[in-house]
Amino acid sequence: MDALDVMGKKEDIFPYFQPIVSADKQEIIGYEVLGRIHTDEGIKSLGFFFQDHSIPEEYIMEIDTHLRKLAILYFQKQESDQCLFFNCSARHLLFDHGETITNSLEEYGANGISYDKIVIEVSDYDIDDDQLQKLQHILTYYKSLGVQIAISHAGNRMSNIEKIAILNPNIIKVGLTNLKDKGMPPEYREVLYALSMLGRKIGATLLFEGIEGVGQLKYAWENGGRYYQGYYFGKPGPEFLSKNEFKLLLTKEFHHFIVHERERLLSLYELSQDFNSHLQQQIKRTRQNNWNEIVSVATRSLGDACFRGYICDEDGNQVSSNYYRNGEGVWEFQPEYEGDNWSWRPYFLENIVRMRHEQVGILSDLYSDIETNELIRTYSYPINDSHYLFLDIPYLYLYERDDY
């Protein structure tokens, strides 16, 4: 089927609706509108039509407007208080300066539909700065009406995060489809962390799409996802579902997640307490202010729980060598690190103040090590009021304890 076939069968085109559920309400809060067409072989997706850059923009926008109109008519008949998510490519918006969507929105408003029930979901925004600024103006106008803006981020790339910040959406949409049956690669964790931090800064909500199993749902829940979408909650269909269709499912799964997370956090707390008690005894046995002796004794005493240690003063200046277990399992000093300053690292000074006042060690979040690119945690321990021991814990040790 080509573009002319689609244009000639406009009466056979209709919308499908895929539910989007919320973590807070545990109910369906809206639907993404997707295009379908009746053919001799059955119902087919119109994804190929909207994604084909060779098809004239006028054709795309005519069919898109037709689909939105049908979806709005159905929405009105349902008297729904949920939201409709309409896909919109940045290039289509820029083609006519957003006028087609603007005209549709004015029509919806005239028919009594509240603008805050409409979500414009923008994709393909990897464009130059001039075009990005024009797109920003269009989206800012829509937001001024009360329309919500969602921006899709796909894959493991950091490159578009700055553009998302400029577009300042209400919702950031994160895809999990490519992570089916795979582990979460470190680069994806970094992208997700950056998106989560961006969302907090600009007040945007994370929506995870492509959820096809409980593992992906758990990952989305653990990483701050408020909204969820995917085949786990049903494939797109021609009708709305009951608002509470997935409430029992979410209640049950969230309970399992909470129980597991509570056990994991308790285990991490106990690990931190064990390290604290152990290091108190070890450091008492070493000569005061002999930093290399202190770091070597403390690091080796923890065995497999540590692969690197060093000591810094309260300003972040490293006063010891690194004491490091190399690939052959041999411990060695790395004097070239002495004198480096680590005050620029996130949470460094905050943790120094906490340790000084609480006089206990602190276990960091999981993060990627700069040198090895492996996931690790760092345990920080106050030697005295001005010097602090840092011990890096390998992921394998944490994984075996379920402390990752």
- Give per-residue pLDDT as tens, 327-337: 899 999 999 99
Q: pLDDT 10s digit of each residue in the chain, 404 long?
A: 677 788 888 899 999 999 999 999 999 999 999 999 998 889 999 988 888 888 888 999 999 999 999 999 999 999 989 999 999 999 999 999 999 999 999 999 999 999 999 999 998 888 888 999 999 999 999 999 999 999 988 655 566 888 999 999 999 999 886 555 455 666 677 788 788 889 988 999 999 999 999 999 998 998 889 999 999 998 999 999 999 999 999 999 999 999 999 998 999 999 999 999 999 999 888 888 899 999 999 999 999 999 999 999 999 999 999 999 998 999 999 999 999 999 998 889 999 999 999 999 999 988 888 888 788 999 999 999 999 999 999 988 988 876 55
Task: Identify whether the C-beta of residue 91 lies closer than 8 Å to the C-beta of residue 59.
Answer: no
Cα separation, 201 vs 199, whole angstroms: 5
Cα separation, 317 vs 337, whole angstroms: 10
Check residue 372 and give its pLDDT: 82
Which residues does 281 contact at the CB level (< 8 Å), separation at least 6? none
Residue 180, both tokens: 């089916």
Unique residue bearing structure tokens 């709005």: 72
Tell me the pLDDT tens digit for each residue of 105-156. 999 999 999 999 999 999 888 888 899 999 999 999 999 999 999 998 865 5
Cα separation, 136 vs 122, whole angstroms: 11
Cα distances (Å, whole numbers) of residue 129 to 123, 125, 155, 163, 269: 16, 10, 22, 9, 47
Cα separation, 265 vs 243, whole angstroms: 33
Check residue 5 and give its pLDDT: 80
Compute, in degrees rounded to 10, the torsion defined by CA atoms 9, 102, 151, 245: -70
pTM score of the predicted model: 0.85
Q: State which H helix or E strand residue 93 sits in.
A: helix 90-95
DSSP per residue, 129-142: HHHHHHHHHHHHHH
Q: State which H helix or E strand residue 120 sits in.
A: strand 118-123
Return the bridge partners of 209, or none: 175
Check residue 404 and give its pLDDT: 57
Return the bridge partners of 314, or none: none
